[in-house]
Amino acid sequence: MPMENEATVPRKNWQHQATAFLARCRAQMWGKHKEEPLAWLYRAGFSVSFAQDHFLGWNFRPMQRNAALWLGEDRAGEKYALPQGLLLPWIQESQMLRLSILGMEGDTFILEGSSLRPLVTEKGPCLLVCASDGDAFRLLQETKPGTAVMAAPDFSLLRPSDFEGFGRIRLVTPFTDDVRRLLDELRSQGRMAQAFPLPERGLVSGLLSGELSFSRIPAMALF
């Protein structure tokens, strides 16, 4: 399971709501109406075994809930959005650190209250860095032992300590100015860093739209 990398742990009521929501969506995903999520998994290239092993779930329709239940009484009267799509949980030691939903077109929505710190699956020596949880989970399916995957939705929160213990680093993400600066910084530190540029909307969106071929994934994931 993905593990924390010096992440800020979300508040307890958020973790409770997120865990309960994930449990319901996991039950729905493998219930009697599983044709829709299984068809979408196939289109995006996720295997059934990967989805089961990593506790993915499926939210069948967009919903809004009472924000106070998730974020505290100071948000009373506000709505909390839960889009349709594939649930991607980052869990460590029974704590939910972040919960994202990968939408029908491949866009990733991070549920408010989640940690926004970079999260990493394991130790190296190789590291793949993605800008979204959706792309990170999709690449995680393709990795070999010894390759970690990091999801960093906000590159400004990355610190040098986030890369300690990794010998080879590959940024698999749309090539923005922030990515260019990070690549230059890593190389200036003498690290073996490279970039694999993705389309503007990322890996999963590119696969679903046909902009990216599935045959390119090994070149992204394997060192």
Report residue 127: phi and psi, to 5°. Answer: -140, 130
- Between the alpha carbon of residue 149 and those of residues 10, 25, 40, 79, 137, the distances in Å are 21, 24, 23, 33, 8
**Which tens digit of pLDDT belongs to each residue from 140-177?**
999 999 999 999 999 888 888 899 999 999 999 999 99
**Which tens digit of pLDDT belongs to each residue from 37-93?**
999 999 999 999 999 999 999 999 999 999 999 999 999 999 999 999 999 999 987
Q: How far apart are the C-alpha atoms of 221 and 223, rounded to whole Å?
A: 7
Question: What is the rounded average pLDDT of the residues 101-119?
Answer: 96
54 within 8 A of 1, measured Cβ to Cβ: yes
Fill in the amino acid letter for 53. D
Instruction: Identify the pLDDT of residue 1.
Output: 46
Report residue 183: phi and psi, to 5°. Answer: -60, -45
At which residue do the structure tokens 């939210």 appear?
59
Torsion from C-alpha of 131, 134, 137, 140, nearest 10 degrees: -50
Instruction: Identify the pLDDT of residue 4.
Output: 42
**Which tens digit of pLDDT belongs to each residue from 203-216?**
999 999 999 999 99
Three-class SS of residue 35? helix
Tokens of 166: 């990794």
Report residue 19: phi and psi, to 5°. Answer: -65, -45
Q: Which residues of 44-63 are buried (b: 16+ CB within 10 A; e: fewer)?
A: bbbeeebbeebebbbbeeee
